[in-house]
Amino acid sequence: MADNRRWWALVVIALAQLMVVLDMTIVNIALPSAQADLNMSDGNRQWVITAYTLAFGGLLLLGGRVADLVGRRKTFVIGLLGFAAASALGGAAGSSAMLFGARALQGVFAALLAPSALSLLATTFTDPKDRGKAFGIFGAIIGAGAAVGLLAGGFLTQYLNWRWCLYVNIPIALVAFFGALALLTPGERHPDARLDVPGAVLGSAGMLSLVYGFSEAESRGWRDGLVLGMLAGGVVLLVAFGWWQTRARVPLLPMSVVKDRQRIGAFLTVLLVTVGMFGVFLFLTYYLQGVLGWSPLKTGVAYLPMTVAMVVGSTQIAARLLNRVPPRVVIVPGLLLAAGGLAVIAQVGVEPAYASHVLPGMLMLGLGMSSAMMTSVSLATGSVAPRDSGAASATFNTAQQVGGSIGTALLNTIAATVTARYLTAHAAPGVDKGLLAAKATVHGFNVATWWAMAALLLAALIAGVVVNAKRAPTPQSAEKRAPEPVDSAL
């Protein structure tokens, strides 16, 4: 592929990934308006988020292998068109059930789109120098997409309508679709390979069960029978999935993808980073709107400095160092810097503290997290043979999605529990109930943010111990040493 053509292809791939990442947060700010418009109950409103994450997280492994078998470009364009159609359906929803269904469909097509985008990136940029630049841009999109989603959600909800938080996907998807047809090569297809049906059932059911359990924990509590049953069932199914993958002739997830030390370090790092990241985004949004009384648009604008920091961290720091220093030399300091940012944010009070705590913390979080994420993306896909890049990309996205689900459920539960205890301990006659509620809420957010910081510190420890490559690997080296694939049916 000509050099200019490859970089235009990167624009197409980046647009698709941005759309998927945006949709994980853009609806959050629009949710109160959608709830009022469609008369959703407080108990059911969570399904606007859960329906998407459930389908997305549960079907990623299957989507990644479909991309390998059918062809990455074909799966990519199908995912784009399907995502656009589901977004249009959700925007036109006249009932809560219709919106929930549309969000689930978005998740299904996102499970096709996300691994296809990442594997196309990995197989398009194999030269170490260009690969660093390309993954820097891609890493910035992953890191900044959630914050951009909050900004876009605030603008669209305040000045247009909550439905535009879904409609906005349509033009993005169409531009990426026509760009994909013009710029992306069809990619490899393996017609003699077969889909691992038992593996697909076990893996998808296990992920669906796990993501559903974590999603329900936020509203039901961790001791609820359904939550415990779904989490335990998910673990059992995934253990069975792992056992089957060692025996299947054509596994859904080749063991070579998860046995590599560098990829294991990358997957665990991404999982723990997103555990902290998604929960903190949610807390900051509630703090700025609920405690400080900011509008949705002002809240979105407040995230812009962090978005800029993420772009700088990915493209100007990590991308420049990727092929010059060992990956953990970038990942570990990045995670420590991000953890320091959370420590600053965790000290806010009920009085305005954006300039003194939130802004400095955001800048540290953005620079550090994007550097670590971008390097982890390269590690997760670099040493995989092109024929397995879809499976590796899906595993990376699964780690990200499960981390987000765990973080949202776990940190919200911690925050709610701490808030309730604070209210009980400090309630007394004559105490200003409004001020007490604000202090309790902020205290709950602060304690949960300390736990998020602990997740980043654990990620730094794992990356420092597990990741030991001297340089980030590339698909070229993987293809040279990879054995021939087994083209046998089950």
CB 125 within 8 A of CB 475: no
pLDDT at 236: 95
> With pLDDT > 70 as the criterion, what percentage of the chain qualifies?
83
> Please, what is the average pLDDT of the chain?
80
Stronger pLDDT, 110 or 299, i.e. the higher one: 110
Write the pLDDT tens digit of every residue in 147-194: 677 777 777 877 888 888 889 889 988 888 888 887 777 655 555 556
pLDDT at 335: 94
Write the pLDDT tens digit of every residue in 27-38: 777 777 888 888
pLDDT at 334: 93
pLDDT at 361: 93
Helix/strand/coil (H/E/C) assignment for every residue in the chain: CCHHHHHHHHHHHHHHHHHHHHCCCHHHHHHHHHHHHHCCCCCCCCHHHHHHHHHHHHHHHHHHHHHHHHCHHHHHHHHHHHHHHHHHHHHCCCCHHHHHHHHHHHHHHHHHHHHHHHHHHHHHCCCHHHHHHHHHHHHHHHHHHHHHHHHHHHHHHHHCCCCHHHHCHHHHHHHHHHHHHHHCCCCCCCCCCCCCHHHHHHHHHHHHHHHHHHHHHHHHCCCCHHHHHHHHHHHHHHHHHHHHHCCCCCCCCCHHHHHCHHHHHHHHHHHHHHHHHHHHHHHHHHHHHHHCCCCHHHHHHHCHHHHHHHHHHHHHHHHHHCCCCCHHHHHHHHHHHHHHHHHHHCCCCCCCCHHHHHHHHHHHHHHHHHHHHHHHHHHHHHCCCHHHHHHHHHHHHHHHHHHHHHHHHHHHHHHHHHHHHHHHHHCCCCCCHHHHHHHHHHHHHHHHHHHHHHHHHHHHHHHHHHCCCCCCCCHHHHHHHCCCCCCCCC
pLDDT at 145: 66
What average pLDDT does the segment 53-70 reach?
A: 78
Does the pLDDT value for residue 262 go beyond 90? no
Does the pLDDT value for residue 476 go beyond 80? no
pLDDT at 218: 65
pLDDT at 271: 87
Sequence-separated (6 or more) residues with CB below 8 Å from residue 34: 27, 40, 48, 99, 162
Stronger pLDDT, 472 or 108, i.e. the higher one: 108
Q: For residues 24 and 21, what is the distance between their CA atoms, to the nearest angstrom?
A: 5
Q: For residues 221 and 360, what is the distance between their CA atoms, to the nearest angstrom?
A: 33
| pTM, rounded to two decimals | 0.77
What average pLDDT does the segment 44-69 reach?
A: 77
What average pLDDT does the segment 415-430 reach?
A: 84
pLDDT at 142: 63
Write the pLDDT tens digit of every residue in 271-311: 888 888 776 777 787 788 778 888 777 877 888 888 888 88
What average pLDDT does the segment 121-140 reach?
A: 69
